Amino acid sequence: MKSLLLFLGLLSFSALQAADIVALCIGNNDYVREEDQLDTPINDAQLMKQTLERLPGGADVKLLTNASKEDIELALNALKVRAQGAKLALVFYSGHGMDGQPDGYATEDTFLLPVEATIPDVNYLHSRAVPVKTVLDALKAAPVTARAVILDCCRSGAPKATAALTGSTKNFGDLDERVKSALGKAVVPDATLIAFAAGPGRKAAAFLTEADENSPFTKFLTDQFTTGSGNLRDLVEAAAENTETATGRRQVPYVSYTGAASAIRQIVFRSSPAPTPPPGTPSPLARMTPPVLPPLPAPNLFKGHPPFSATKALPYVNELGMKFVPVMRYEVGKKVLFCIWETRRQDYAAYARSVSGVDRSWEAQEEKGVPCGHEDDHPVVGVNWTDAKAFCSWLTLRERAAGRIGAKDEYRLPSDQEWSYAVGIGTQETSDLTPRQKSGKQDVYPWGTGFPPPANNGNYADSAAKEKQTAVDKSIKDYHDGYATTSPVGKFASNTLGLHDLGGNVVEWCLDWHDAEQKLRVLRGGSWENAFYTILQSSWRYSFPPEFRGNSTGFRCVLVLSN
């Protein structure tokens, strides 16, 4: 079993050419004890080497297989010399690893195990293994713009080489502490992305099936580097989502960021320079013309036939019966389709039946004894941001495998900006502001202008909610929709784009952080428990921690198509 830590010292290198990459790829299979031997690490290292070398112009990559401690240390020293004049120095390791705190260590560190290593006690780690701190120190000394360390390794030791140790797999309480432990005393520079292939207390698979030649995260990550065009943050998150879905959530990667997210987004992998046409001017939604936004990276070819022909009158219907209509497009051909309603309980139930380990909070939500989201055609509630993302990833892989959408098409949560276009205020907002700065700035509602909403316009805190005492706000005077909590999706009239419930039923998770602190995620739209006019404005943003689950909180999927 293997787990992975990805550390990236990130500075801007959006113009990075492959000739500027210097890398060391290490794969250890043949450990001294037969019981500790692995099948995929050498393949992983070779795959990463090939991936980097196939970038336009190639890369200077050194491959080490079945490496000793001395081999690794000599190669790290050589890397500092080889990196002269390079922009990116990268170290990739696949094999056994172990966490420990030998005598004299102020904190725990992660150690890479050479093939000859036997570790009867943690105090042997320093002399017989290679601490991650040594790798980071070597890269710190390299005169480069950016540094990357990818460790695809278990952190509980080789089973037999560490047979005398007990409790070597730590159940870390949260991601920050896990990251701190993994890096030991190493200094993490500003604008840093840190990703684990497996969550706290979990191990990652060495392969998905016996026929696989690579570990899942390495395979998905190199796939992204090979076929994807985009910034590093998005590529790593895509690989993490694919790993999570492919393993049935038994392996849930975690990605964390420090410093400025904008710096991380400037790291771009491209197979060739992408054109950068000037941003188009979005057309008003009232004209039913999808707005034009600044370009996204050029996509790959389709696999199958994506639903590009969808219209408001003839929506694309996926295998779950979810219906999607076009809302916006990007100049390079990306087209964003919104589901016409919020994700239903029956949709989420199909996901929960297919994937093990799904949190069951969504099954029994209520308010003052009144059920919330208990009917199949009601929106699912009690799901957090991570749950919603996982559902989208599962649906993406499922429909790609069935040939219903293309290889670069994806289901995901809408961005905050996309949600604004869906509700009709996208052209009225300033794009360079954070969602928090935009919140409550437009005196416009999903139904138009003026408060309260017209009769039978949506599911808000009404007389039924007042009677059952379910509303968090006072009910809207003289308003009656007939539902004390959730209502069936599509029960009320759609907007001009064909979308239902943008102003009621449940609040909806979006992709974005609420502000620059990156602690809270954005949610949009009012819900069945809201009556206050400010909250029901189209521009209002809620903000909650990603792990929050509530009985009025759900989500809506978008389908992003490539041409």
* Tokens (6 digits) for 406: 């293309």
Domains in the chain: boundaries: 3-269, 308-563
475-522 pLDDT, tens digit each: 888 899 989 999 999 999 999 999 999 999 999 999 999 988 889 999
pLDDT of 304 higher than 80: no
* Tokens (6 digits) for 203: 């191990």
The predicted pLDDT at position 336 comes to 95
Q: CA 197 to CA 176: how far, in whole Å? A: 15
Output b/e per residue, 167-179; b: 16+ Cβ within 10 A: ebbbebeebeebb
Average predicted confidence (pLDDT) for the chain? 78
pLDDT of 363 higher than 80: yes
* Tokens (6 digits) for 311: 């219209």
pLDDT of 357 higher than 50: yes
DSSP string covering 251-305: S--EEEEES-HHHHHT-EE-SSPPP-PPPPPPPPGGGTPPPEESPPPPP---SS-
The predicted pLDDT at position 463 comes to 84
Most confident segment among 92-106, 154-168, 170-184, 530-544: 530-544
At 301, the pLDDT band (50, 70, 90 cuts) reads very low
The predicted pLDDT at position 528 comes to 93
The predicted pLDDT at position 457 comes to 92
Report how far Cα 56 is from the mean position of its chain's Cα atoms.
27
Instruction: Provide the strand spans (E) within 145-200.
Output: 146-153, 192-196
Q: CA 137 to CA 122: how far, in whole Å? A: 22
pLDDT of 265 higher than 60: no
526 contact partners, CB below 8 Å, separation of at least 6: 458, 460, 503, 504, 507, 535, 536, 540
The helix (H) or strand (E) run that includes residue 544 is strand 541-544
Name residue, tokens 């002399």. 127
Report the pLDDT averaged over residues 409-416: 95
The predicted pLDDT at position 227 comes to 74
CATH class of the domain defined by 308-563: alpha beta
6-54 pLDDT, tens digit each: 555 544 334 455 457 899 999 999 998 888 888 889 999 999 999 888 8
The predicted pLDDT at position 383 comes to 97
* pLDDT: which is higher, 57 or 465: 465
Please, are residues 270 and 231 in contact by the beta-carbon 8 Å criterion?
Answer: no
* Tokens (6 digits) for 487: 């209502």
Least confident of 76-90, 116-130, 187-201: 187-201
Please, are residues 95 and 113 in contact by the beta-carbon 8 Å criterion?
Answer: yes
* Tokens (6 digits) for 183: 């890096």
Q: Are strands 60-65 and 21-27 parallel, antiparallel or unpaired?
A: parallel
Report how many helices (DSSP H) and strands (DSSP E) the chain contains, helices first.
13, 24
> What are 316's strand-pairing partners?
324
Residue 498 falls in which region: left (phi positive, over 0), alpha (psi -120 to 50) or beta: left
At 144, the pLDDT band (50, 70, 90 cuts) reads confident
The predicted pLDDT at position 55 comes to 74
Peptide bond into 114 cis (omega under 30): no
Most confident segment among 272-276, 333-337, 379-383, 460-464: 379-383
Least confident of 113-117, 187-191, 311-315, 462-466: 187-191
The predicted pLDDT at position 362 comes to 96
332 contact partners, CB below 8 Å, separation of at least 6: 274, 275, 295, 296, 297, 298, 299, 563
Q: Are strands 230-231 and 268-269 parallel, antiparallel or unpaired?
A: antiparallel
Q: CA 202 to CA 550: how far, in whole Å? A: 27
* pLDDT: which is higher, 256 or 449: 449
Alpha-carbon Rg of the chain, whole angstroms? 25
The predicted pLDDT at position 551 comes to 95
Please, are residues 395 and 557 in contact by the beta-carbon 8 Å criterion?
Answer: yes
* pLDDT: which is higher, 368 or 336: 336
Q: CA 241 to CA 503: how far, in whole Å? A: 29
The predicted pLDDT at position 87 comes to 79
pLDDT of 192 higher than 60: no
At 373, the pLDDT band (50, 70, 90 cuts) reads very high
The predicted pLDDT at position 348 comes to 97
Q: CA 494 to CA 272: how far, in whole Å? A: 42
The predicted pLDDT at position 250 comes to 64
* pTM of the predicted protein model: 0.51
The percent of residues above 70 in pLDDT, for the chain, comes to: 71
The predicted pLDDT at position 210 comes to 58
The percent of residues above 90 in pLDDT, for the chain, comes to: 40
pLDDT of 372 higher than 90: yes
The predicted pLDDT at position 212 comes to 73
So what's the architecture of 3-269 in CATH?
A: 3-Layer(aba) Sandwich (3.40)
Q: CA 310 to CA 314: how far, in whole Å? A: 6
207-224 pLDDT, tens digit each: 556 567 888 878 888 887
165-190 pLDDT, tens digit each: 332 222 222 334 444 444 444 444 43
Least confident of 234-243, 315-324, 484-493: 234-243
pLDDT of 302 higher than 70: no
At 296, the pLDDT band (50, 70, 90 cuts) reads very low
Report how far Cα 453 is from the mean position of its chain's Cα atoms.
36
The predicted pLDDT at position 196 comes to 60
pLDDT of 299 higher than 50: no
Provide the angle, in degrees to the nearest 10, between the axes of the packed helices 232-246 and 385-401: 80
CB atoms inside a 10 Å sphere around CB 104: 7
The predicted pLDDT at position 277 comes to 40
* pLDDT: which is higher, 125 or 545: 545
Report the pLDDT averaged over residues 252-256: 61
Edge to edge, the sheet with strand 60-65 lists: 60-65, 21-27, 88-95, 146-153, 3-9, 192-196, 254-258
pLDDT of 359 higher than 80: yes
pLDDT of 228 higher than 70: no
The predicted pLDDT at position 349 comes to 96
